Amino acid sequence: MTNSSTQAADVARERLRDAMVRLAAGDSNALEEIYNATHVKLFGICFRILGDRKEAEDALQDVYVNLWQRADRYDPTRASPISWLATFARNRAVDRLRTGKVRGGAVPVEEANPLPDQAPLADAMLVDAEKSAQVHTCLSTLDDSVREHIRGAFFDGFTYAQMAEAADVPLGTMKSWIRRGLQKLRACLEAGEAA
């Protein structure tokens, strides 16, 4: 990333952080600003998990209304605003998947994974490039199948039971794979931060 694009990213992040703080202070106009800056990314996330446009739109509506209701939950000193919003949207979409309102698993396992790594996206400049690189580096140290299952859980909201069935292994085996994977991932992420 060049210096000028780094600066542009910093400015975009700060602007979003500022809008989040204003929203928490009761400025409802800030919501539109946040929506404009983030809805393409957040809708992509909701759609990826729910696999249905209407469900994803309902989830996204829920995300922004909830954000407006409880903007004070965002702590500007702790998290990057887009990371926080992306996590929030993903959690809401997964919750929706789990409550059984949605058929779920709309994207078949085989089609779920082959997204290009680190595809350049419009909203990507809001994201912390350093942290992004690190999680990708650390995931790449995992065994292929474990990595794909971790990605399946993250991107498609698959449960242990669904992944065990898809991989045709006992539930306990799948749990152990993922848990060992998380263990390695954590060690790698921590090592990266200590360096």
Interacting residues with other proteins between 70 and 99 (CB under 8 A): 70-71, 73, 78-80, 82-84, 86-88, 90-92, 94-96, 98-99
Q: List the one residue from 119, 168, 194, 195 that touches other proteins (CB under 8 A).
A: 119
Sorted by sequence, the CB contacts under 8 Å of residue 85 that are 6+ apart come out as: 34, 38, 42, 63, 67
Q: What is the smallest separation between the CB atom of 115 and other proteins, expressed in angstroms?
A: 5
- Indicate whether 5 belongs to the interface with other proteins (CB under 8 A): no
Residues in the chain, total: 195
Q: List the one residue from 4, 77, 122, 195 that touches other proteins (CB under 8 A).
A: 122
Q: List the one residue from 1, 8, 65, 171 that touches other proteins (CB under 8 A).
A: 65
Which CB, 11 or 40, lies closer to other proteins?
Answer: 40
Instruction: State how far the Cα of 10 lies from the Cα of 188, in Å rounded to an integer.
Output: 27
Nearest to 94 by CA among 169, 141, 162: 162
In DSSP notation, 41-92 reads HHHHHHHHHH--HHHHHHHHHHHHHHHHHTGGG--TTTS-HHHHHHHHHHHH
- Indicate whether 68 belongs to the interface with other proteins (CB under 8 A): yes
Task: Give the largest CA-CA distance in the chain.
Answer: 52
x-or-dash string of contact with other proteins, 152-181, rule CB under 8 A: -xxx-xxxx-----------xx-xxxxxxx
Q: What is the smallest separation between the CB atom of 67 and other proteins, expressed in angstroms?
A: 10
Whether the CB-CB separation of 91 and 84 falls below 8 Å is answered with: no
- Indicate whether 101 belongs to the interface with other proteins (CB under 8 A): yes
Tell which positions 37-56 bind other proteins, by CB under 8 A.
39-41, 43-45, 47-48, 53, 56
Instruction: State how far the Cα of 41 lies from the Cα of 45, in Å rounded to an integer.
Output: 6
x-or-dash string of contact with other proteins, 129-148, rule CB under 8 A: --xx-xxx--x---x-xx--
Which CB, 15 or 80, lies closer to other proteins?
Answer: 80
